[in-house]
């Protein structure tokens, strides 16, 4: 694969499913329509904590159009959801309310309006208890236990070298605490599922979701039927960013239960408010950071304590805590590291996966500290990063060594280079403050410490020379269908317009695990590469027979099989396919790609975890209005080593989108609570960036060759979130001379700080 001349990979192919999307024909879950379709609407708690004494549904059942109210006892297979141990979450709250917005019953009616009217007259008697709303309240010695096991969801450690010694022998020690707020995914399409008993003795669920196989397993368990009786079909999904894992599972099960009870299709379509209060958020965090260094800038030790506020249920907290743990020391070669990462329960909306998965929070803390260290040592911040940057052959935080595809220094050098030719407007105009900030980061690719990483993909070539790719990873807008098509096209020499990629249907594709961890292109792409390779073998074998030559004299290109040494000698690929079919050579293959298993010590988190890391360095220049706190981003560079780039345009799109999400996290977006109730559950008061808030991101890729991905690819979906957020914080600090220790750093926060400093 290395140094191979590529036809499809590396080209900005148009999105293979784009036509359906620009014409409005693409069917999202909410677009299904059946004559007897019923709608489910959940009753949700208005308080953060309480004991459920009674749920009176008698009035609701009298509302015209109401056919059913599903209660916890109706979930026959057990009222449990949650995609990971400890499985602490009920589908419907039964005895106890643990967050404001938690649902306790589902009203089913002939229209959304009827179901809502029914929900309004359900009378819930909930005895309030004082909610636990902060990290400190959860950790307090005599704190009420939100779950039987206590208020700590999980606590992990990473220990490398001897931190105590490093701190004792250091020249400088810096110490500080950082905080981040909850962030909402705010995908444009809320969570929607439609469960349909098609009359085949099974239940089918069309879902806007990220990991259909999770949902399938849960529905089967909740219904108490064999998994084989459940089919989950991913509909076009209007964004997910990690957020349609847990919640889609919760409402997928509920809809299935309701559909089975009625023998009719049931749709649950979360309203925007429900999508904010009743579905996962990014973990809020408090990170205590200590850093030890020598006078020359060599960082000798880091001691980090991470507290993640995970809300009412574990959801993906264990994984997020692990990811934060591994990434908190940053992309640097540091011999002595001690990290503790703890996720906690509070009586707030539960938190889960969100683009970046714990890395943006720790990167903000880590990169803020890097700048403070540079300031203390009077070093250039980029020089300090460069000096400590991981290189091929270095031991990273978990003592894993990568001999190649470690392009961090190249990303720093690129930024140094480009920054040299960029000058900030002069500071003379006294209305504004200007500053440029930098941040380096890395992010592990693959499931890593989160479990086995296997993807199954099938490739089938038809007799007309077209090909169908099936894979269990989902398209969420990130363009993975296009990338898989490009890889299959590359291998088979078939043009892209003849390649079709299935939507995920759990009946017809192999369980490929969750679509997470920026792993689609690497682990998924490898499975497609292998399956296509097997089919290619058949085609070469057949073509060799037809040309009466050896297989290695033949290449597949532009829908032809042709002789290597005579490009005019060629046979249309469809003729080869027909011949192969009649000769009995297989035209379909199911292949697996399995990432090397993570092998590490459970107590110290030392060992091999990810199959590769994406490395990046961002630069952001801002202008701050001293009178209003308004910030304008004048320049943003996002330089990443993401291995080989399969589709440059899609790559840029990922960087631009993720960067704006990072900017939102750092500057605009904040979930606000009053007594544990979210008070801004809409897209006006929760300030998602609009087109007038966009930042001028420039994407630069440093291509290295990653041996664990097809054609050398890594992944890019998540990393820019961290880079953009952290470089923003550093730019604002540089401009104002004030170190902001809490995200988001809004206009309001900036102006108040400037005025207080005066």
Q: What is the DSSP string of 294-311?
A: -TTS-EEEEEEEEEEE-T
Stretch that binds another protein, among 158-166, 346-354, 434-442, 689-697 (CB under 8 A): 689-697
Q: How far apart are CA 421 and CA 414, in angstroms?
A: 11
Q: Does 477 bind ligand FES (CB under 6 A)?
A: yes
Stretch that binds another protein, among 94-102, 224-232, 484-492, 622-630 (CB under 8 A): 622-630
Minimum separation from the CB atom of position 245 to ligand FES (A): 18
672 interface partner picked from another protein, ligand FES, none, CB below 5 to 8 A per type: another protein
Site string for ligand FES, 704-723 (x = CB under 6 A): --------------------
Q: How far apart are CA 503 and CA 484, in angstroms?
A: 12
Show contacts with another protein in window 699-758 (CB under 8 A).
Answer: 746-748, 751-752, 755
Stretch that binds another protein, among 148-156, 369-377, 465-473, 645-653 (CB under 8 A): 645-653
Angle between helices 212-223 and 246-262 (to 10 degrees): 40
> Quick one: CA dihedral 482, 485, 491, 494, positive or negative?
negative
Q: How far apart are CA 260 and CA 731, in angstroms?
A: 55
Q: Which position among 649, 707, 738, 742 is part of the footprint of another protein (CB under 8 A)?
A: 649
Q: Does 188 bind ligand FES (CB under 6 A)?
A: yes
Total chain residues near ligand FES (CB under 6 A)? 3
What's the residue count for the chain? 758
Minimum separation from the CB atom of position 113 to ligand FES (A): 16
Q: Does 478 bind another protein (CB under 8 A)?
A: yes
Strands laid side by side in the 299-309 sheet: 152-160, 336-344, 299-309, 284-293, 172-180
Which residues of 45-181 form beta strands (DSSP E)?
50-56, 66-70, 96-97, 103-109, 123-128, 152-160, 172-180
Q: Which position among 6, 7, 21, 159 is part of the footprint of another protein (CB under 8 A)?
A: 21
Q: Does 238 bind another protein (CB under 8 A)?
A: yes
Show contacts with another protein in window 399-458 (CB under 8 A).
Answer: none
For ligand FES, the closer CB: 335 or 693: 693
CB 351 within 8 A of CB 311: yes
Q: Does 401 bind ligand FES (CB under 6 A)?
A: no
For another protein, the closer CB: 197 or 629: 629
Q: Does 564 bind ligand FES (CB under 6 A)?
A: no
Q: In this structure, what token pair is assigned to residue 598?
A: 């993570």
679 interface partner picked from another protein, ligand FES, none, CB below 5 to 8 A per type: another protein
Q: What is the DSSP string of 617-680?
A: EEEEEEEEETTT--EEEEEEEEEEE-BB-S-HHHHHHHHHHHHHHHHIIIII----EETTEES-
Q: What is the DSSP string of 19-68?
A: HHHHHT-S-BGGG---TT-EEEEEEE-SSSSEEEEEEE-HHHHHSTTEEE
Q: Which position among 693, 705, 738, 741 is part of the footprint of another protein (CB under 8 A)?
A: 693
Q: Does 239 bind ligand FES (CB under 6 A)?
A: yes
Strands laid side by side in the 123-128 sheet: 96-97, 50-56, 123-128
Q: How far apart are CA 414 and CA 420, in angstroms?
A: 10
Task: Point out the residue whose Cβ comes nearest to ligand FES.
Answer: 188
For ligand FES, the closer CB: 272 or 294: 272
* β partners of residue 54: 125
Q: Does 629 bind another protein (CB under 8 A)?
A: yes
Q: Which of 527, 438, 481, 475 is nearest to 734 (CA)?
A: 438
Q: Does 627 bind another protein (CB under 8 A)?
A: yes
| Sole residue written with tokens 């006294």 | 430
Q: Does 116 bind another protein (CB under 8 A)?
A: yes
Minimum separation from the CB atom of position 755 to another protein (A): 5
Q: How far apart are CA 583 and CA 12, in angstroms?
A: 37
603 interface partner picked from another protein, ligand FES, none, CB below 5 to 8 A per type: none
For another protein, the closer CB: 533 or 689: 689
Residue 89 backbone zone (phi > 0: left; psi -120 to 50: alpha; other: beta):
beta
User: Does residue 482 sit in helix, strand or coil?
Assistant: helix
For another protein, the closer CB: 387 or 747: 747
Q: Which position among 12, 134, 463, 553 is part of the footprint of another protein (CB under 8 A)?
A: 12
Stretch that binds another protein, among 249-257, 342-350, 475-483, 704-712 (CB under 8 A): 475-483
Q: How remote is the C-alpha of 549 from its chain's centroid?
A: 49
Minimum separation from the CB atom of position 208 to ligand FES (A): 12
Minimum separation from the CB atom of position 650 to ligand FES (A): 12
Minimum separation from the CB atom of position 694 to ligand FES (A): 12
For the chain, what is the radius of gyration of the CA atoms? Answer: 27
For ligand FES, the closer CB: 186 or 251: 186
CB 375 within 8 A of CB 734: no
Q: Which position among 4, 27, 123, 198 is part of the footprint of another protein (CB under 8 A)?
A: 27
Q: Does 518 bind another protein (CB under 8 A)?
A: no
Q: How far apart are CA 710 and CA 726, in angstroms?
A: 31
First to last CA, the chain: 60
**CA 457 → CA 207, 463, 501, 529, distances in Å?**
21, 20, 11, 9
Minimum separation from the CB atom of position 349 to another protein (A): 16
Q: Does 687 bind another protein (CB under 8 A)?
A: yes
Q: Does 652 bind another protein (CB under 8 A)?
A: yes
Q: Which residues bind ligand FES (CB under 6 A)?
A: 188, 239, 477
């Amino acid at each position: 694969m290395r140094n191979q001349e590529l036809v499809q990979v590396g080209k900005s192919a148009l999105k293979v499913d784009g036509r359906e999307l620009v014409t409005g024909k693409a069917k999202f879950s909410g677009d299904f329509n059946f004559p007897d379709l019923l709608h489910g609407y959940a009753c949700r708690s208005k308080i953060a904590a309480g004991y459920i004494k009674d749920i009176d549904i008698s009035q609701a059942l009298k509302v015209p159009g109401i056919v059913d109210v599903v209660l916890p006892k109706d979930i026959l297979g057990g009222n449990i959801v949650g995609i990971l141990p400890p499985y602490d979450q009920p589908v419907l709250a039964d005895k106890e309310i643990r967050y404001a917005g938690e649902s306790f019953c589902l009203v089913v009616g002939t229209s959304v309006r009827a179901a809502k009217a029914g929900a309004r007259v359900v009378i819930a008697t909930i005895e309030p208890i004082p909610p636990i709303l902060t990290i400190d309240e959860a950790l307090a010695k005599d704190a009420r236990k939100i779950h039987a096991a206590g208020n700590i969801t999980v606590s992990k450690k990473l220990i490398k070298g001897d931190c105590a010694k490093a701190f004792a022998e250091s020249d400088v020690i810096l110490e500080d605490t950082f905080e981040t707020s909850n962030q909402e995914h705010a995908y444009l399409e809320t969570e929607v599922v439609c469960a349909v008993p098609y009359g085949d003795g099974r239940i089918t669920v069309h879902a806007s979701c990220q990991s259909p196989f999770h949902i399938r397993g849960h529905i089967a368990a909740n219904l108490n039927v064999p998994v084989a009786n459940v089919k989950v079909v991913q509909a076009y999904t209007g964004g997910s960013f990690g957020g349609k894992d847990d919640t889609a599972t919760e409402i997928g099960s509920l809809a299935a239960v309701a559909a089975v009870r009625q023998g009719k299709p049931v749709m649950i379509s979360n309203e925007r408010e429900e999508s904010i209060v009743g579905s996962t958020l990014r973990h809020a965090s408090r990170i205590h950071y200590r850093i030890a260094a020598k006078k020359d800038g060599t960082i000798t030790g880091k001691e980090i304590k991470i507290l993640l506020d995970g809300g009412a249920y574990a959801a993906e907290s264990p994984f997020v805590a692990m990811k934060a743990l591994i990434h908190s020391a940053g992309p640097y070669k540091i011999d002595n590291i001690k990290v503790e990462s703890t996720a906690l329960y509070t009586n707030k909306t539960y938190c889960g996966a969100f683009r970046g998965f714990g890395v943006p929070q720790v990167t903000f803390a880590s990169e803020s500290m890097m700048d403070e260290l540079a300031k203390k040592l009077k070093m250039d911040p980029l020089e300090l990063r460069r000096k400590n940057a991981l290189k091929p052959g270095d031991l990273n935080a978990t003592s894993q060594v990568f001999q190649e595809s470690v392009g961090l220094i190249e990303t720093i050098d690129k930024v140094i280079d480009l920054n040299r030719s960029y000058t900030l407007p002069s500071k003379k105009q006294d209305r504004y403050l200007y500053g440029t900030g930098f941040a380096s980061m890395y992010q592990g690719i693959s499931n890593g410490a989160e479990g086995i990483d296997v993807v199954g993909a099938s490739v089938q070539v038809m007799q007309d020379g077209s090909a169908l790719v099936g894979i269990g990873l989902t398209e969420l807008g990130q363009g993975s269908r296009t990338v898989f098509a490009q890889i299959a096209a590359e291998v088979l020499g078939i043009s892209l317009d003849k390649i079709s990629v299935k939507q995920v249907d759990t009946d017809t594709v192999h369980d490929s695990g969750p679509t997470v961890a920026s792993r689609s292109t690497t682990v998924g792409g490898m499975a497609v590469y292998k399956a296509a390779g097997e089919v290619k073998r058949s085609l070469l074998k057949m073509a060799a027979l037809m040309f009466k030559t050896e297989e290695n004299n033949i290449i597949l290109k532009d829908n032809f099989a042709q002789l290597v040494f005579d490009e005019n000698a060629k046979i249309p690929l469809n003729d080869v396919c027909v011949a192969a079919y009649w000769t009995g050579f297989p035209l379909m293959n199911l292949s697996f790609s399995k990432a090397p298993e993570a092998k590490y010590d459970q107590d110290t988190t030392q060992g091999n975890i990810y199959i590769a890391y994406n490395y990046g360095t961002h630069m952001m220049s801002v202008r701050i209005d001293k009178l209003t706190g308004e910030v304008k981003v004048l320049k943003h560079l996002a330089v990443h080593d993401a291995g080989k780039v399969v589709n440059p345009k899609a790559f840029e799109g990922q960087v631009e989108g993720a960067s704006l999400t990072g900017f939102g996290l750092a500057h605009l977006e904040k979930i606000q609570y009053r007594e544990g109730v979210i008070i801004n559950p809409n897209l006006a008061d929760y300030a998602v960036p609009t087109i007038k808030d966009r930042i001028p991101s420039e994407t630069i890729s440093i291509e290295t060759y990653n041996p664990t991905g097809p054609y050398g690819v890594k992944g890019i979906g998540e990393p820019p979130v961290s880079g953009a957020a952290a470089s923003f914080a550093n730019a604002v600090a540089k401009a104002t001379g004030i170190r902001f220790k809490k995200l988001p750093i809004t206009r309001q926060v900036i102006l108040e700080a400037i005025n207080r400093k005066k």
